[in-house]
Each structure stands twice: as C-alpha cells, then as structure tokens.
Chains A and B, each alone.
Chain A
Amino acid sequence: MAANDNWRNLTPTEKDKVQENYQRWQRLPPRDKEHLRDEWNRWQRLPKDERDRIKQRYDRQRRDRRED
C-alpha cells in the first residue's frame, strides 16, 4: 500500500507531527474541517512552481520562528 510505504519513509519527527495533526483535526469544529479540506483542494490545484515557492516560504518562516 502506497500510504503505508510513505508512512514508513517518514522520520520519527514527521510521524509525530502527522499524529499530532490528526489529533488536532479530530477536535476541530466541522466548519474549520471544511475550510481545511477546501484549502487542501485549492493547494493541489495550484501550479507546481507556486506550490514550491509557498512551501519554501513556509519552511523558512517556520525555521525562523524556531531560531527565535
């Protein structure tokens, strides 16, 4: 199964993050869940270069927050 393989390839930190997000997802109100699903669909429709750019920006901001 592809999802299982992908899961196995994640680092322990990434796995923890996924589990944590899943727990958080379960507690979200339906409206927020719906919003996130919409954002996910929109994200997947974005052109690849734009996705890469946004991802890079997100990673950079996260790194900066960690360093602060």
Chain B
Amino acid sequence: MAHRKPLQSACKTFEEDLVLYYYGETGDDERRRVNQHLAECISCQGFVEDLRRLLPQIAKSAQMPPSFWDEYYRETVAKLAQQEARKHWWRALFAPRQIWMVPAFGTVAVAILVVGLLFGKGNLNSFMHRTSERIPQEILADESQLQFFESMDLLESLGTLEKQDDQNTDSTNTQSSRVRQQHAVA
C-alpha cells in the first residue's frame, strides 16, 4: 500500500506565506504576490490543496464528539459518588434506614431501661454505693464501730466537754441554792 505524504512540499521561500494565505492572514500585497506564484508553481498549488484537505480534519479531531463528553460526565459523576461513599461509609449504613430506625432505637432503649429496672431494682442502691465508695470493712464490722468513727471527734474532747458540763451544772445549782436562800430569808 502506497503511503501518501501528508503535505506536498512547497517552495521554501513561500511555505510560511502559503500557510498564512490559507488562513487569510496575509496583506493585500502579499496575497497578490502569493497568487502570482501559485499561478506558476504546481508544487505550491498542491501544498495549498493539501492544507485545505488536511487542516480541517486536524481541527475536527481536536473537538471531542458529544458522546465523548457524555461518557466523561458519567464517569466523573460515578467517581465523585464513589469518593463520597468512601468518605462517609458509616452514613451509608444509616441513611437508607433513617425513618424507621428512630422509633426502633427508641423501643430498644426503653426495653433496655425496663429490663434494667426490673432486674436491677433491688440491687441498684447497693450497686451505686458499692461502685462509688470504698468503705473499709473495719468501719462496717458492726454498728458500734461505725458510731465510734462517727463520734471520734467528740470522744477526743469528751473530758473537756464533761468538765464544762460539770461547771455549768455547778453554777446552775449554786444559783438555784442562792435563790432558795433568798426566798427563805424573805
């Protein structure tokens, strides 16, 4: 199969002018000069013919057909959707079920609460106390021990308190006897 040359060769001095001529970008004098040359030069005529034949095809191939852009759009949208799904994969678990999941979660929560209250009612108070406090067993050995540790401050000053109490009692008694004596004298 014979291979055709893409462009017929033109005169070197006219090659650039012929391209500008083809695009209509030559001045009047230049166009006249090129026209004169073309009338005499078969090679340059062939070159211009080739330009007319090939350049529109090149320009055409640079424009993508609408089907290409449709496909490009579809692929881009699909890729964006995939990326979004990867970023919020956990949302996909809930999103389609949002409407029915709200009452469902509510029911489950209430059920857990009811079961917890039913089975844990008796132990709830002691459980709270057990977890929040570390009570030394020595304190809870018997009731008397607890009272002892409750009253420890008082016991430390018991002697002083008793003395104060005695003094107070004595002064009250003295006052009472004085009042009695005054009544007797009167």
Report the separation of the CA atoms of residues A25 and B55 in the bound assembly, to the nearest whole angstrom.
106
Q: Smallest distance from the beta carbon of A29 to chain B beta carbons, Å?
A: 14
Q: Smallest distance from the beta carbon of B13 to chain A beta carbons, Å?
A: 108
- B107-127 to A contact mask, C-beta < 8 Å, 1/0: 000000000000000000110
Q: Would A7 and B152 be within 8 Å (CB), given that A15-B133, A39-B158, A57-B165 are in contact?
A: no
Report the separation of the CA atoms of residues A19 and B140 in the bound assembly, to the nearest whole angstrom.
11
Q: Across the interface, which residues of A come within 8 angstroms of B142, CB to CB?
A: 2-3
How would you classify the secondary structure of chain B's contact residues: helix, strand, loop or mixed?
Answer: helix
Q: Is B53 an interface residue (CB 8 A)?
A: no
* A3 x B152 contact (CB < 8 A): no
Which listed residue, B133, B145, B151, touches A3 by the CB 8 Å rule?
A: B145
* B161 x A54 contact (CB < 8 A): yes
Q: Across the interface, which residues of B come within 8 angstroms of A10, CB to CB?
A: 150
* A22 x B136 contact (CB < 8 A): yes
Q: Smallest distance from the beta carbon of A41 to chain B beta carbons, Å?
A: 10
Which listed residue, B133, B140, B151, B157, touches A40 by the CB 8 Å rule?
A: B151
Q: Is B153 an interface residue (CB 8 A)?
A: yes
Q: Across the interface, which residues of A come within 8 angstroms of B138, CB to CB?
A: 22
CB-based nearest B residue for A24: B152
Q: Across the interface, which residues of A come within 8 angstroms of B156, CB to CB?
A: 36, 39
Q: Smallest distance from the beta carbon of A26 to chain B beta carbons, Å?
A: 9
CB-based nearest B residue for A36: B155
Which chain A residues in 1-37 approach chain B with CB under 8 Å?
A: 1-4, 6-8, 10, 14-15, 17-19, 21-22, 24-25, 36
Q: Across the interface, which residues of B come within 8 angstroms of A63, CB to CB?
A: none
* A40 x B148 contact (CB < 8 A): yes
Which chain B residues in 140-186 approach chain A with CB under 8 Å?
A: 140-143, 145-159, 161-162, 164-165
Report the separation of the CA atoms of residues A34 and B117 in the bound assembly, to the nearest whole angstrom.
47
Which listed residue, B146, B147, B152, B162, touches A36 by the CB 8 Å rule?
A: B152
Knowing that A1-B140, A22-B149 touch, tell me 14 more A-B residue pairs with CB under 8 angstroms: A3-B139, A3-B143, A4-B140, A7-B146, A8-B125, A10-B150, A21-B149, A21-B153, A36-B152, A36-B155, A40-B148, A43-B151, A57-B165, A62-B153
